[in-house]
Amino acid sequence: MTMRAYCVTSHDAPPAIERIARPRPGPGQIGIKIHACGLNFADLLMMSGRYQDTPALPFTLGLELSGVVDSLGEGASGPAPGTRVAVYGGQGGLADYGCFDAARAVALPDSLSHEAAAAFQIAYGTSHLALTRRARLQPGETLLVLGAAGGVGLTAVEIGAAMGARVIACARGKDKLEAARAAGAHELIDSETDDIRETCKALGGADVVYDPVGGDQFTAAFRACRPEARILTIGFASGDVPRIPANHLLVKNLTVMGLYWGGYLTFAPELLTRSLAELLTWADEGRIAPRAHHVYPLDQAADALELLRARKSTGKVVVTMA
């Protein structure tokens, strides 16, 4: 039996939909009928072989997905067939079916759609761990979010506001800033027209900076920090990895820290499990509102990835297997 899968067969050629054999779950795995897959900047890096966890060729794109369990491998006690789940698989999400470690599956509340669930794990999980565990954001502190209308940026705005912080959102253009305001931002900075450093300083400076962009925006935010501020490096969507002047860290007692969400799977997976469980509770209670902002069918996966590459998306891009 075959299925559709959006496959990378060469780092020098674009991915394409292929007909491949439907996999069967191995020991400790579950088989899933996939309904939706969330796209991430890492997918673009994987296509060219530039991601730190790029699988061996050939492979199917798609780090995170949602679907319904349809089979269990040897030794897998659940989730039971018929259970709606979300899974971070690291690959394999852009396909009709997939097999994944049972321990990575989280059961979904009825209130969360498959599209929202596919958009949930990496974006919300990254922001939750970054703000709660790494930066230890406190109520009343000022959080500056760069790239605030992107897939992770909007979740940082939403989670920061839910934690009681004053959120300054920095994004490009009126429409993206309005999306950040709707997610809970209290103050807005237009990265196209405003001086990020001076505008943020005029607003009192930042206690915590959430940066998935890098480059010049990192430098501007760095200079707008209050003493003892914490700066979270989440990614480098600008393509520019900034250099950090260590003497400035010393003078202002600043802390710069990294957050790679997927890395916790290798050394502290229980932290991810607890974080996702808390976030699912928040979603079920209405404290946060996960959703897919752009939805494409599988045969338009290339268009969905291009939207991400061109940085024209607002929020999360999701592909469905319909």
For residue 75, pLDDT over 90 is answered with: yes
Mean pLDDT over all residues of the chain?
95
Q: Does 272 fall in a domain?
A: no
pLDDT of res. 311: 85
Query: Domain limits at 294?
Result: 2-120+290-320
Are 226 and 296 found together in one domain?
no
pLDDT of res. 78: 86
Q: How is residue 267 written in tokens?
A: 């050394």
pLDDT of res. 218: 97
SS3 59: strand
Give me the mean pLDDT over the 100-125 stretch.
94
Q: What is the DSSP code string of 236-288?
A: -TTS-PPP--HHHHHHHT-EEEE--GGGHHHH-HHHHHHHHHHHHHHHHHTSS
Are 175 and 80 found together in one domain?
no
Assess contact for 208 and 165: CB atoms under 8 A.
yes
Assess contact for 279 and 124: CB atoms under 8 A.
yes
Mark out the alpha helices in the chain (DSSP H runs): 41-47, 114-118, 121-129, 153-162, 174-182, 196-202, 215-223, 246-252, 264-267, 269-285, 301-309
Return the number of other C-beta atoms located less than 10 Å from residue 35's C-beta: 19
Choice among 117-121, 190-194, 236-240 with the minimum mean pLDDT: 236-240
Are 194 and 253 found together in one domain?
yes
For residue 70, pLDDT over 90 is answered with: yes
Are 136 and 256 found together in one domain?
yes
Q: Does 268 fall in a domain?
A: no
pLDDT of res. 312: 87
Q: Which of 211, 246, 261 is the last residue of a domain?
A: 261
CA-nearest of 188, 209, 125, 118 to 159 is: 125
Q: Does 280 fall in a domain?
A: no
For residue 250, pLDDT over 90 is answered with: yes
pLDDT of res. 112: 94
Q: Does 55 fall in a domain?
A: yes
pLDDT of res. 193: 96
Q: Which of 221, 243, 261 is the last residue of a domain?
A: 261
Q: What is the pLDDT of residues 260-295, one digit of tens each?
A: 998 998 999 999 989 998 999 999 899 999 999 999
Q: Which of 261, 279, 301 is the last residue of a domain?
A: 261
Distance between CA atoms of residues 140 and 120, nearest Å: 26
Q: How is residue 132 written in tokens?
A: 């709660």
Q: What is the pLDDT of residues 142-173, one digit of tens each?
A: 999 999 999 999 999 999 999 999 999 999 99
CATH number for the domain spanning 18: value is: 3.90.180.10
pLDDT of res. 95: 98
Assess contact for 143 and 156: CB atoms under 8 A.
yes
Are 69 and 131 found together in one domain?
no
Are 147 and 110 found together in one domain?
no
Q: Does 27 fall in a domain?
A: yes
Are 114 and 54 found together in one domain?
yes
SS3 115: helix
pLDDT of res. 322: 79
CA 294 to chain centre: 14
Give me the mean pLDDT over the 103-131 stretch.
95
Are 106 and 131 found together in one domain?
no
Distance, first Cα to last Cα, the chain: 18
Assess contact for 147 and 192: CB atoms under 8 A.
no
Are 68 and 189 found together in one domain?
no
Are 116 and 131 found together in one domain?
no
Are 79 and 98 found together in one domain?
yes
Q: What is the pLDDT of residues 4-61, one digit of tens each?
A: 999 999 999 999 999 999 999 999 999 999 999 999 999 999 999 999 889 999 999 9
Assess contact for 77 and 44: CB atoms under 8 A.
no
For residue 237, pLDDT over 90 is answered with: no
Are 131 and 229 found together in one domain?
yes
Task: State how many domains the chain has.
Answer: 2
pLDDT of res. 271: 94
Give me the mean pLDDT over the 215-240 stretch.
96
Measured at the alpha carbon of residue 150, what is the angle toward residues 148 and 151, in degrees to the nearest 5?
Answer: 125
